[in-house]
Amino acid sequence: MKKIKWFFVLSLIAFVGAFLVACSSESSTNASKEASSEKEEKQPIEVNIGIQQSIWPILAAKEKGWFEEEFEKAGAKVNWVEFQSGPAYFEAIATDRLDFGRVGNIPVLVGQAADIPFKEIALASSGEKGDAILIPKDSPIKSVKDLKGKKVAVAKGSSSYGLLYRALEANEINPEDVEIIQLQPDEAQPAFETGSVDAWVIWEPFQSIQVVKNGAKVLANGVDVNTSSPGFQIVRTKFAEEHPELVELYLKVTEKATRWQNENLEEAIELYAELKDTDQEVIRQVLENSQPSNTPITEEVVEEQQKTTKLLYDLGGIKKTFDASEVVDNSYIENVLKDYK
């Protein structure tokens, strides 16, 4: 009887021991899972910001680390993505590889026509002089009408592309009467400098580099054609829906950089000249032609965009018409600017 009793006691002890070990193991496993989950939750949000070779306040902010500094406080990590021109931004947005950027008026219209999910969240520039039709200093071309039969380089789908067609329309020139050659800046620049093309329609800073350094002439810009090529701050729609606070933060840093440039012009010229390894005279000309802004998108700007939409549709550049205001969302910039009143 005693043997049976001790056997029962020993069995009970073994069972309790095994139970405690199992509980301890399960507790350890759960703790490990919770720690792993907590670690995953603390992973920074990846924020991809697009940048071109253009000279804008975002360049100063990038150099000074302002975006990295502010986004890190919000638990986000900034990645910079470089592009040759605006149209490529929308290919990246469509594949979730880009969240923010600044682009010209034609790219946003082409992007909207392609149903790419993005929003225009602020006006970045009015764009009357930011794009221009350039001719070499010794060119016999005297007016836009003289472009008939000539070779003209332009990046397809860019803001300069829009200026070219608006200029042709204003001078009653059929685009088919001009040999329009689609070239990105890195291809168009040598073609223009060697005389392989007769004219180049391009944005800043390429415009001022050619004018200041090579004596190129501005045949026409938005002022001459009575049009504008506004620039816009854009955001990927899904990113904005998931992280509205980061959209406002992006605009806050942009506002800081814009104000810094306007209030420290000489320092900005020196900084940009060093970053671009070019003359300060070139930078000064660029900034005179490209006044930055960070403001709500006005009805007048939308109306101008609607006119350009019709032009693109008539030319076959887009396959449908649409309401240009549908991608405008001023709520973020309006909230941001309340802090500056």
- CATH number of 202's domain: 3.40.190.10
For residue 234, being part of any structural domain is answered with yes
Is there a single domain that holds both residue 69 and residue 202? no
For residue 4, being part of any structural domain is answered with no
Report how many domains make up the chain. 2
Cβ 125 vs Cβ 159: under 8 Å: no
Q: What is the pLDDT of residue 34?
A: 52
Is there a single domain that holds both residue 220 and residue 140? yes
Is there a single domain that holds both residue 93 and residue 242? yes
For residue 9, being part of any structural domain is answered with no
Is there a single domain that holds both residue 76 and residue 157? no
Among residues 197, 225, 253, the one where a domain terminates is 225
Among residues 225, 260, 289, the one where a domain terminates is 225
Q: How many CB atoms lie within 10 A of CB 57?
A: 24
Cβ 77 vs Cβ 46: under 8 Å: yes
Residue 118: pLDDT above 50?
Answer: yes
Is there a single domain that holds both residue 98 and residue 149? no
Amino acid (1-letter code) at residue 233: Q
Lowest mean pLDDT among 5-19, 207-221, 258-272: 5-19
For residue 137, being part of any structural domain is answered with yes
Half-sphere exposure of 176 (CA within 13 A, CB side): 2
Is there a single domain that holds both residue 234 and residue 327? yes
Q: pLDDT exceeding 90 applies to what percent of the chain? A: 72
**What pTM, to 2 d.p., does this model score?**
0.80
For residue 319, being part of any structural domain is answered with yes
Cβ 79 vs Cβ 47: under 8 Å: yes
Is there a single domain that holds both residue 302 and residue 190? no
Residue in 99, 203, 225 with CA at minimum distance from that of residue 154: 203
Judged by DSSP in three states, 76 sits in strand
Is there a single domain that holds both residue 92 and residue 188? no
Is there a single domain that holds both residue 246 and residue 323? yes
DSSP label of 136: -
Residue 33: pLDDT above 80?
Answer: no
Q: Is the peptide bond before 244 cis (omega within 30 degrees of 0)?
A: no
Domain that holds residue 242: 45-126+230-340
- pLDDT digits 0-9 by tens, 256-312: 999 999 999 999 999 999 999 999 999 999 999 988 999 999 999 999 999 999 988
Residue 98: pLDDT above 70?
Answer: yes
Task: Tell whether the torsion through CA atoms of 58, 64, 68 and 74 is positive or negative.
Answer: negative
Please tell me which residue, 236 or 38, carries the higher pLDDT value. 236
In whole angstroms, what is the distance from residue 66 CA to residue 254 CA? 9
Residue in 207, 203, 206 with CA at minimum distance from that of residue 218: 207
Q: What is the pLDDT of residue 226?
A: 84
Q: What is the pLDDT of residue 30?
A: 54
In whole angstroms, what is the distance from residue 341 CA to residue 336 CA? 10
Residue 5: pLDDT above 50?
Answer: no
DSSP label of 120: E
Is there a single domain that holds both residue 135 and residue 122? no
Is there a single domain that holds both residue 120 and residue 64? yes
Among residues 174, 201, 225, the one where a domain terminates is 225
Residue in 77, 70, 69, 104 with CA at minimum distance from that of residue 90: 104
Per-residue 3-state assignment (H helix, E strand, C coil) for 196-260: CCCEEEEECCHHHHHHHHHCCEEEEEHHHHCCCCCEEEEEEHHHHHHCHHHHHHHHHHHHHHHHH
Q: What is the pLDDT of residue 84?
A: 81
Backbone angles phi, psi at 339, to 5 degrees: -75, -10
For residue 10, being part of any structural domain is answered with no
Q: Which residue has the tokens 């938005």?
A: 222
Residue in 124, 80, 94, 86 with CA at minimum distance from that of residue 291: 124
Provide mean pLDDT across the span 121-138. Answer: 92
Q: Residue 261 belongs to what H/E stretch?
A: helix 244-263
Provide mean pLDDT across the span 113-138. Answer: 94
Q: What is the pLDDT of residue 41?
A: 58
Lowest mean pLDDT among 63-72, 224-233, 247-256: 224-233
For residue 142, being part of any structural domain is answered with yes
**Which token pair is 263?**
């209030």
For residue 50, being part of any structural domain is answered with yes
Query: What do you get for the CA distance between the two ends of the chain, in Å?
Result: 92
DSSP label of 113: H
Is there a single domain that holds both residue 106 and residue 221? no
